[in-house]
Amino acid sequence: MNNDRLLLNDGEIPRSRTRIDVAAELQLRIGRLKQDFFDSECGRVDYHRLRDSPGFADYCNDCRLLQEYDLLNLQTQEEKIAFWINLYNSLVIHGIIALDVQKTVKEVYDFFGRIYYRIGIAEYSADDIEHGILRNNRRPPYGFFHPFADDDPRMAYRVERVDPRIHFALVCGSSSCPPINYYVADQLESQLEMAAENFVNGPEVEIDPSQNRVRLSPIFKWYRGDFGGQKEVFDFLAHYRRDVGEKDFLRERGHHARIQWKDYDWALNS
């Protein structure tokens, strides 16, 4: 498979109608597509039906407007986080369809670095959005370099306070990802709270106090620093875990528990 980088919003910028709020319009498009093609409960996306739908064609057309979008329109932390989460999730879906991924994004070399949108004068890959923007220019897991150099103009648009709950909102197109959702600035706090609670109480987190053992998604290993460290990971888990006994175990003995890391299932979430 060709390993060239792939610009997914290339082409003529639509001029046929009144100028729109690009962020709001793209979020609206994704919201509509989510209703028709995303199963939120099991986290599945019907990529085959989505590929040929008029709604996806409209999304592809509108995302060309990003070429003229001024990111300074995003003024609050909530506006930035909601915009970039939604854009990341839609970029990944767009990339899976454009590259005709069949079973896993691992079919494509450097999938998350290869697919990108042009926004204004700059380019943003999925990796750039996650690690450069939403993680405040932190190195990706097992990476040696920060996404952006100090003089990179994209540094101006990064989210300065890393919220670890983003890891339960970003959907990488794989079965171990959280279910996809559509985020809006004025509901962001409650939406991120729900995303974190659902993930911590889902199949990717297993707590066994009788065996002094926890089995965790590798997300908590890869992004330990975003939570503040290993102790803070257990504090985070205790905060969101619903079972009272497991909550107490995590608070009192979690940092002495045996940690087993679950395998990450990269199979396509379809």
For the entire predicted model, the pTM comes to 0.93
pLDDT at 2: 54
Full 3-state SS string of the chain: CCCCCEECCCCCCCCCCCCCCHHHHHHHHHHHHHHHHEECCCCEECHHHHHCCHHHHHHHHHHHHHHHCCHHHCCCHHHHHHHHHHHHHHHHHHHHHHCCCCCEHHHCCCHHHHEEEEECCEEEEHHHHHHHHHCCCCCCCCCCCCCCCCCCHHHHHCCCCCCHHHHHCCCCCECCCCCCCCCCHHHHHHHHHHHHHHHHCCCCEEEEHHHCEEEECCHHHHCHHHHCCHHHHHHHHHHHCCCHHHHHHHHHHHHHCEEEECCCCCEECC
pLDDT at 201: 97
pLDDT at 48: 87
Domain positions in the chain are 6-175
Q: Contact 96/48 with Cβ under 8 angstroms?
A: no
pLDDT at 269: 86
pLDDT digits (tens, 9 = 90+) for 151-170: 999 999 999 999 999 999 99
pLDDT at 40: 63
Nearest to 162 by CA among 86, 104, 81, 260: 81
pLDDT < 50 positions in the chain: 1, 18
> Is beta strand 115-119 parallel, antiparallel or unpaired with respect to 6-7?
parallel
